[in-house]
Structure 1
Amino acid sequence: MTTLLTIVHVVVCLFLIVIVLLQHGKGASMGAAFGGSSQTVFGTEGPLPLLNKITTWAAVVFMLTSISLAYMSTRVGDGSVMKEVAPIAEPQSAPIPLPSADKDVPMAPAQGK
């Protein structure tokens, strides 16, 4: 489900980029007033109503997929990856033997000679 939603999200994202680049800016009509040609491909009103509706619906789908992916990513991983690993037992170490004072300890030289 997450994979399908991610694919839809990416496709809608790319579609939004293309559809926004197809639209004219606010200053585009000023250039047409001084000798520019009119575009009659989209009808007498131009591409504005059609592209606005397409952009609105694509933006709604984009936002819904964004919210859905964010919600689904918080619900992944309810447990720990370490819960199936057995705990390692601590090794039982023997106490370190201390040297006794009467054997194998060199004597310090006497001071005062």
Structure 2
Amino acid sequence: MTTFLIFLHILVSFAIIIIVLLQPGKGASIGASFGAGSSGTVFGAAGAGSFLGKLTGAAAVIFMLTSLTLSYFSGRPDAGSIMPEIVTPTQQVMPIPEQPLPPGTVPTQEAAPIETPPAADN
């Protein structure tokens, strides 16, 4: 559910940005009354303000509701964590041998010697 809310929150955020950028400026209404080019917009001279205003309000309400819901879910004490409670070791710790190993051996279960490649002749 949290993933869906985050997706919706991001989608509404982008929608608010686009809606606000589509809205005409405050000075456009004066230019439209004198026959300037802004009266021939997609929504018409007066239709864009009320429609985009209502759309902005609806998007703002959805944005605030998703913000409050996400903050509520993140503050709950039983919220899951991506970190594990107990860290298990990935490798077993080998006991230190009582006698040092001979050169060229690797400390493993059986202490097998390391095979070295032959030296190249110059």
TM bucket (normalised to shorter chain) is 0.5 to 0.7
Residue-by-residue CA offset, 1:57-105 (whole Å, 9 max, x unaligned): 1000000000011111111259x965x47xxxxxxxxxxxxxxxxxxxx
Work out which structure has the larger RCO, using CA pairs closer than 8 Å and 6 or more positions apart in sequence.
1
Q: Percent identity?
A: 53
TM-score, normalization by structure 1? 0.61
Q: How does 1:27-106 map to 2 (within 5 A)?
A: 27-37=27-37, 38-39=39-40, 41-43=42-44, 45-75=46-76, 76-77=79-80, 82=85, 84=86
Please state whether the residue corresponding to 1:47 is helix, strand or coil.
helix
> Structure 1 residues 23 and 44 mapped into 2: Cα distance closer, same or farther (>3 Å)?
closer
Segments ≥4 residues shifted beyond 2 Å: 30-35, 39-46
Aligned residue-pair number: 84
TM-score, normalization by structure 2? 0.57
Runs (5+) with no aligned partner, structure 2: 88-122
Q: For the aligned residues, what is the CA RMSD?
A: 2.6
CA distance in 2, matches of 1:56, 1:36: 28
